[in-house]
């Protein structure tokens, strides 16, 4: 069973996973502290599987609304499960969580082709491509 956990109670356990994800994704526009603040302000939720230590598997989700259509979406901001066994255990519960909150879809963003292929087994379909060209010039702020 999935449960929402107060991030303040498990921050030291989940922070290494959040930092690992942050370091692995060069395009992210958030910092680990943003995750903490978003959960603390009830804009997002830290979810774990009951009986599983938060350091072993967790996800951060939020409810987004498409401003054009009004569609409510459960957005998986990030998910951590180093042994990659978490999805088969929770995908039906995640569907029910989304449905019970009035969502018509679940979405996530990734740069990992293998994750997109894996997610297909659970009904996820790729809906867009993002392309980028690096230009010479000044570095980003803070570099």
Candidates 55, 49, 51; CA nearest to 9 is: 55
pLDDT tens, 93-106?
889 999 999 999 99
CATH 3.40.630.30 fits 2-120, yes or no: yes
* Domain boundaries of the chain, sorted by first residue: 2-120
pLDDT tens, 21-55?
999 887 789 999 999 999 999 999 999 998 889 99
pLDDT for res 101: 94
pLDDT tens, 132-141?
677 787 765 6
Tell me what the mean pLDDT of segment 56-60 comes to. Answer: 93
Under the banding of pLDDT at 50, 70 and 90, the label for residue 11 is: very high
How many percent of the chain have pLDDT more than 70?
87
Contact by Cβ (8 Å): 126, 116: yes
Does 116 or 5 have the greater pLDDT score?
A: 5
Q: Would you say residue 118 has pLDDT above 80?
A: no
pLDDT for res 119: 74
Tell me what the mean pLDDT of segment 5-20 comes to. Answer: 97
């Amino acid at each position: 069973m999935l449960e929402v956990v107060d991030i303040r109670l498990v921050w030291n356990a989940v922070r290494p996973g959040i930092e690992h994800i942050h370091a692995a994704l060069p395009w992210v526009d958030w910092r680990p502290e943003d995750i903490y603040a978003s959960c603390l302000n009830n804009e997002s939720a830290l979810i774990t599987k009951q009986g599983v230590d938060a350091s072993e598997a967790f996800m951060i989700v939020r409810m987004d609304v498409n401003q054009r259509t009004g569609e409510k979406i459960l957005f998986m901001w990030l998910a951590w499960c180093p042994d990659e066994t978490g999805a088969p255990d929770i995908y039906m519960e995640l569907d029910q969580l989304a449905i019970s909150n009035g969502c018509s879809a679940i979405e996530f963003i990734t740069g990992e082709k293998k994750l997109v292929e894996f997610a297909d087994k659970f009904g996820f379909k790729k809906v867009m491509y993002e392309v980028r060209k690096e230009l010479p010039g000044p570095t980003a702020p803070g570099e």
